[in-house]
Amino acid sequence: MSTTLPKELTSAPPQVPNVLLSFPAPYVLLITLNRPAQLNAIPSASHLPLANLYNWYDSEPHLRACILTGSGRTFCAGADLKEWDSRHTKGEASNHSQKWTSAGFGGLSNRTGKKPVIAAVNGLCLGGGMEMAVNCDLVVASDKAKFGLPEVKRGVIALAGALPRVIRTVGRQRAGEMALLGRMYDARQMRDWGLVNEVVEGDVVREAVKVAEELARNSPDAVIVTREGLRLGWEGVGPELGTEIVEKGIYGRIDGAENMAEGVRSFVEKREPVWRDTWSSYG
């Protein structure tokens, strides 16, 4: 795939650490998260650059479709929990406003934007990775992909917009199963539940490029306006407002507290967490 900038672009894309950019077809931008050794976990310093990258994509008249994927065997395993554990060890709370912008995790989980983004889910899609995927316009998944919101297993919650979006897509009971039990699901299950458009045996990026090319053949103006109509019909103010209410309310009772620190540390130490019954002490 070509990494050469198309001559039609009016400006160069912003630089994002650990991200590869390519242009696999006319009008199509491919963003590849490139931290395979860390399962493409996104560190806090990358959220703003990624948001700036999507803003750049929206501003470039030549680009009509964007694909997000990951290198190696993982789409994105979410936040960098080793970084979180380091902050908790230092006594720092995980104020989400310091971790990402209003566009959410990876600049995408709460992104409104103008133009569509297609998720090419090549492998593990967990936590923040799942939060990004559920806010994409289309999701193409490998038959080897695995999806989940395992935050409750680590003493945290999915606070980047996925909870209200998932419940609107799959319904209360299925969303409860996903978010309260923290289970993992294969791509076909997610297709049956409406979170995945297509399951691919083989090269998922190649198939996503075909979808992007089909999308790019449509009127870019009509796509932008149609997408906005779909977004307003699906969201209204619900997900953003719901996330803000949780963040400013009950989340403050667990942020940086003992079980959150334990969940993250147990992941880093590769052991089962030992929860403490400390909820009543949060006020």
Task: Enumerate the active-site residues.
Answer: 131, 151
Beta bridge partners of 180: none
Instruction: Give the CA count within 13 Å in the CB-facing half-sphere of 95.
Output: 4
Maximum Cα–Cα distance across the chain:
60
Angle ∠(109,196,77) on CA atoms, nearest 5: 50
Position 186: which residue type? D
Q: How far apart are CA 67 and CA 24, in angstroms?
A: 10
Q: How far apart are CA 260 and CA 155, in angstroms?
A: 4
187 and 121 Cβ atoms separated by less than 8 Å: yes
Residue with tokens 């997408």: 227
Q: How far apart are CA 8 and CA 212, in angstroms?
A: 18
Helical H segments across the chain, by residue range: 47-59, 81-89, 96-99, 128-133, 162-170, 172-181, 187-192, 204-216, 220-234, 238-248, 258-268
The string over 228-252, giving b where at least 16 C-beta atoms fall within 10 Å of a residue's C-beta and e elsewhere, is: eeeeeeebeeebbebbeebbeeebe
Residue with tokens 């409406």: 194
